[in-house]
Amino acid sequence: MIGRWLALTFALCLVTGFYSHLLQDPSTWAGVTFSRPVWLYGLTQTVHIVAGTVSIPLLLGKLWAVYPELLRWPPVTSILHALERASIAVLVSASLVEVATGVINTFEWYPWPFPFRETHLALAWVILGSLLIHVAVKYPRIAAHWRRSRPAGTADPAGPAPEDTHDAGRSRRRVLALVAAGAVAAFVGTASQNVPAVRDLAVFTPRRPGRGTQGLAVNRTAEAAGVAVPAGAPEWRLRVVVGDRVSEFGLADLAALPQAEHSLPIACVEGWVQDARWGGVPLTALLEAAGASAGDVVVESLERSGNYRMSILPQHFAWDPLTLVALRLEGEPLSLDHGFPARLIAPGRPGVLQTKWLAELRVITGGRG
């Protein structure tokens, strides 16, 4: 039973994790990412974090249930058996590292020398492969379990029940109860971060959506990003590059373009989501003013370094009428920590790709640079 729930949480993590990857790295398969519904990424990433955290007690319970197999003698009985055991060793170790790195990353702690995203992604492929091998090998037993139609009180042909003693059964039920309690605690301790009435129960998440400047959480402050923009930003210009043509827009120029206000969520990779009212220039209006009519857009920040100083906005996000070069948040000018003088807000994108402190937009047509 634990195995089935574990398989469900892993399947949810794999699907939502790969979706997140396609948004983060749109150089391939950008066509299968979506700007609508606007809450889609908030939903997929919340599911990722909740399912990933719930999988931890389930994984520990599953390891407890099968550990006697580890001590079975002789350890291997055939080449096929050796290969099966090797694939399980890979599955178990990759899963433990995957969930551990995932949790630690949500606390923005990187105590390892390897890059988190690339490693987490590579391990997801390893988990997928070894899980498929594991299920294929166990398929006859799984099929026997689902096919069985036995009279009550007789032995399960797929299970090890005959050697069960009363005590073993009791201790198994105790462990099952512990695993279930752990899974419920993990669910409540993560999912509640997006339910305002019970937000304080989110003990396994590091941030609260409502707590930050202008009532919205901030992951990377201007100070942490090394960005200092003078108040009023008199010299700041947003460069828009379309082929050979370079246009520059100061704050007054942007204010003179058509303006719009939309309620759009910030959906963080850590699984918190918060709607906010953003005001500014529709990106389509700005791109048209700069002479563009189509294309993906490379977005650059004033940040000098950092993984998110640059991002690619695929065409269907760039030309979505809801996408804004935001100048205002809840009717006030953006605070510096929220990206003053201007930031990008597009529907359905991870928060880390909603580039703050905009410096340059570069339209690329006919293939990404």
Q: Which residues bind ligand HEM (CB under 6 A)?
A: 10, 13-14, 17-18, 20-21, 24, 48-49, 52-53, 55, 95, 98-99, 102-103, 105-106, 117, 120-121, 124, 127, 269-270
Q: Which lies closer to ligand HEM via its Cβ, residue 38 or residue 92?
A: 92
DSSP letter string, 10-39 = HHHHHHHHHHHHHHH-TTS-GGG----STT
CB of 100 to ligand HEM, least distance (A): 8
CA dist., res. 154 & res. 151, Å (int)? 6
Residue type at 89 in one-letter notation: A
In the bound state with ligand HEM, the residue whose beta carbon lies nearer, of 308 and 357, is 308
What's the CA dihedral at 315, 321, 327, 328 to 10 degrees?
A: -140
Of 17 and 347, nearer to ligand HEM (C-beta) is 17
Beta carbon of residue 322, minimum distance to ligand HEM (angstroms, whole number): 22
Nearer of residues 95 and 284 to ligand HEM, judged by Cβ: 95
Nearest to 323 by CA among 363, 364, 269, 287: 287
* Residue closer to ligand HEM (CB basis): 127 or 251: 127
In 3-state terms, what secondary structure has residue 332?
A: strand
Closest separation between CB of residue 54 and ligand HEM, Å?
9
CB of 183 to ligand HEM, least distance (A): 13
The nearest distance, CB 35 to ligand HEM, in angstroms, is: 18
Tell me how far apart the alpha carbons of residues 341 and 359 are, in angstroms, rounded to a whole number. Answer: 10
> Could you give the CA distance from residue 84 to residue 89 in angstroms, rounded to a whole number?
9
- For ligand HEM, give the closer residue by CB, 26 or 333: 26
Rank residues 123 and 361 by Cβ distance to ligand HEM and give the closer one. Answer: 123
Residues 6 or more apart from 128 whose CB is under 8 A from it? 14
Q: How far is the CB of 62 from ligand HEM (least distance, A)?
A: 12
Instruction: Give the span between the Cα atoms of 90 and 123, in whole angstroms.
Output: 10
285, two tokens: 């209006």
Helix (H) or strand (E) holding 344: strand 343-345
**Other Cβ atoms within 10 Å of 202 Cβ, number:** 21
CB of 19 to ligand HEM, least distance (A): 8
**Helix%, strand%, coil% for the chain, nearest 5:** 50, 15, 35
Tell the smallest beta-carbon distance from residue 192 to ligand HEM (Å).
14
Q: Which is nearer to ligand HEM, 125 or 139 (CB)?
A: 125
Alpha-carbon span 251 to 259, nearest angstrom? 13
